[in-house]
Amino acid sequence: MQLTDFEKSMLDGAQGDAKARAMDLLLRYGEALGAERLVETRNVAGAFNASTPSVRHMVGDGDEEGFDRVFSGLNLDSDDVVDIPRMTVPTCQLITGIDMENHETQGVDPALAELQGKSERYLGKRGVNMMCTCTPYQVGNVPLQGEHCAWMESSAVIYCNSVLGARTNVEGKESTGAAGLTGRIPYWGLHMPENRNANRLIRLDVEVDDMSEWGVLGYFTGFEVEEDQPAFDGLTHQPDLMKLKHFGAAAASSGGVELYHMPGITPEAPTLEAAFAGAALPAPIIYGAKERKRTWERLQNATDRKLDFVMLGCPHNSIEQMSRVAELLEGRRIHPDTALWVHTPRAIRQVADRSGYTEVIERAGGVVMSDTCPSISRKLPKGVRVIATDSAKQAHYLPAITKVQGWFGSVEQCVESAVAGEWLGVVR
Amino acid sequence: MSTATDKPQVITLRGRRVVGGKARAEALVTTQTISGWGGISEKDGSVIELHHELHGQSFAGKVLVFPGAKGSSGWSAYFHMCRLNGTAPAAMLFTRMTTKIALGAVVTRVPTLTDFDADIFELIDTGDTVEVDADAGLVTITKAPG
């Protein structure tokens, strides 16, 4: 790979050991990709928190050296422990395993919650912004079109590329650590404009409007195109942030979609022809009534209708979604045998608290969670066997990770089922 | 049935080095992409994705032959943990380059190749003995009897 003089000086250790380790990793990673050079980035979103059971033995007493050991090993892939300096460029923490205010309800070991507090102070001192959400774009990190980013979190990456028109590959725990310290990431894949055109076409033969329908379309899309870049034809309704958030999260779960184009909606595709940069359109993949129904059925991984747990807010809810959940629960009570957790970024929770939504949800027997989700934390209420969720992504992952049965449906179906204590959803 | 006069069938093919090194182990082959976070257990190297054709099988110590990575960006972190737990594959051969698989292979630190001059899914079956010399870009397959 070609390095600039400044990048070479980082690699040679002239800017300190941590940046040398970071450059060494970026070099190995870039060569593995076949990249020719690095690109500057000033927007990094990664996973730095050191508070999972698996890193506990590395952290020790939770002093600075313990956290340096975790960052060196897991965020830089370095065998030596190096002092970690302040991040060079704006860097934020994505979702974590522990809600710092609800960890007792989560069933988290109090010692781990204390460790997370220490980890957050360690990272904050190094300039890592504690957004603690899978949706940094909902709480102020909104890159501009064309901006080079280094983001983890597949649902955030697909949003960043497709809806915002910024440029990022799916980065990982190690590459975001290196990017935060150096302000560099391999110039490869979606950083290069010539790689951003559509190469698959999906044609809708059914209406897609409700958020759950966008989730199902996304889930279908991921299975059909895997890592490819689809453009869509025949959209019947204008989506919004919430719907594309769900659509993208699903497409990045059943497949590896990192970029899609919706003509007239997403910024790099004013028209269908523009999405393909003038190339001939490929034969369309049809999403009709049959495909829609089959995908809905594929998302149901449950047989028992007695419901133990309802999970809302994957990816983390917007304020509009918090408002909608509160509206559905106003004056009602969820079934005593069913738990309801609603997940939203802490910054949005503050608005929900102030608007009275949190109180309505809690009075109904629900819990508003931030900083985490059950798939990341692997924490569910005790004894849960059957869950329901309004998220295709969570319906995909949670049964695999926690061995529960999972139902998928709309937010309305989920809330009604939480009140009834049994799954009321039907696949239409 | 194998007899003393039968020589095992040996096939060689070439690929591009992703991560250097050498390894020799039994192959585990799938034509389906693999999720890291949410798709494997870092404790025993087994595939946990519900509808995956390798569900319940472990790649620990095997030459993993697969199209590549899918799903969460926790891919590299989970394969990284497999290395730390001693449950990583012995080597990886894959066909579809992505940042997830590239970074994952780098931090798993096992010999890894891609861009082959032949179809690895045609030539390699689960149970074959596969020698990977990633520095030389060479794969040597000894077919399992039967």
Please report, for the domain that includes residue A396, its CATH number.
Answer: 3.30.499.10
Q: Based on the domain organization, do A183 and A41 belong to the same domain?
A: yes
Q: By CA distance, what is B76's nearest residue in A?
A: A172
Q: How far apart are CA B29 and CA A318, in angstroms?
A: 42
Burial A133-158 (b: 16+ CB within 10 A, else e): bbbbbbbebebeeebbbbbbbbbbbb
**Model confidence at B5, in pLDDT bands (50, 70, 90)?**
low
List, for residues A155-208, the tens digit of each pLDDT value: 999 999 999 999 999 999 999 999 999 999 999 999 999 999 999 999 999 999
Q: Based on the domain organization, do A24 and A173 belong to the same domain?
A: yes
Ranges A57-66, A108-117, A343-352, A379-388: which has the least confidence: A57-66
User: Domain B10-142: which CATH class?
Assistant: alpha beta
Q: Based on the domain organization, do A119 and A50 belong to the same domain?
A: yes
Q: Which residue has the higher pLDDT, A405 or A255?
A: A405
- For residue A35, being part of any structural domain is answered with yes
Choose the closest CB to A397 out of B38, B68, B106: B38
**Rounded mean pLDDT of A38-63?**
90
Q: Based on the domain organization, do A246 and A357 belong to the same domain?
A: no
Element (H, E) at B83: helix B75-85
Catalytic residue among B35, B46, B72, B73: B72
pLDDT the model gives residue A52: 81
Interface of B with A (CB under 8 A): 16, 18-19, 33, 38-39, 42, 48-50, 68-77, 80-81, 96-100, 102-107, 112
Strand order in the sheet with A128-129: A128-129, A91-93, A44-46, A150-151
Q: How far apart are CA A360 and CA A415, in angstroms?
A: 13
HEC secondary structure over A399-423: HHHHCCEEEECCHHHHHHHHHHCEC
List, for residues B48-69, the tens digit of each pLDDT value: 988 899 999 999 999 999 999 9
Q: Tell me: pLDDT of A334 over 80.
A: yes
Q: Identity (one letter) of the amino acid at A29?
A: Y
pLDDT the model gives residue B6: 66
List, for residues B83-120, the tens digit of each pLDDT value: 999 999 999 999 999 999 999 999 999 999 999 999 99
Q: How far apart are CA A248 and CA B6, in angstroms?
A: 54
**Model confidence at B79, in pLDDT bands (50, 70, 90)?**
very high
What is the extent of the structural domain holding A342?
309-420
Q: Tell me: pLDDT of B70 over 80.
A: yes
Q: Tell me: pLDDT of A247 over 80.
A: yes
Q: Which of A271, A298, A325 marks a domain boundary?
A: A298
CB contact under 8 A, A174 and B76: yes
Q: Based on the domain organization, do A180 and A38 belong to the same domain?
A: yes
**Size of chain B in residues:** 146
Number of domains chain A is built from: 3
**Model confidence at A400, in pLDDT bands (50, 70, 90)?**
confident
List, for residues A58-94, the tens digit of each pLDDT value: 898 889 999 999 999 999 999 999 999 999 999 999 9
CB contact under 8 A, A32 and B102: yes
Contacts of B80 in chain A (CB under 8 A): 74, 77, 173-174
pLDDT the model gives residue B51: 83
Q: Based on the domain organization, do A90 and A50 belong to the same domain?
A: yes
Q: Which of A169, A191, A213 marks a domain boundary?
A: A191
Contact between A222 and A250 (Cβ < 8 Å): yes
**Model confidence at B43, in pLDDT bands (50, 70, 90)?**
very high
Q: Based on the domain organization, do A21 and A158 belong to the same domain?
A: yes
Choose the closest CB to A29 out of B38, B69, B102: B102
Q: By CA distance, what is B109's nearest residue in A?
A: A77
Q: Based on the domain organization, do A240 and A99 belong to the same domain?
A: no
For chain B, the structural domain boundaries read 10-142
Q: Determine what percent of chain A is predicted with pLDDT higher than 70.
A: 100
Q: By CA distance, what is A29's nearest residue in B?
A: B103
User: Across all residues in chain B, what is the average pLDDT?
Assistant: 94
Distance from B102 to chain A by nearest Cα, in Å? 6
- For residue A25, being part of any structural domain is answered with yes
Q: Tell me: pLDDT of A325 over 70.
A: yes
User: Across all residues in chain A, what is the average pLDDT?
Assistant: 96
**Residue B72 annotated among the catalytic residues of the structure:** yes
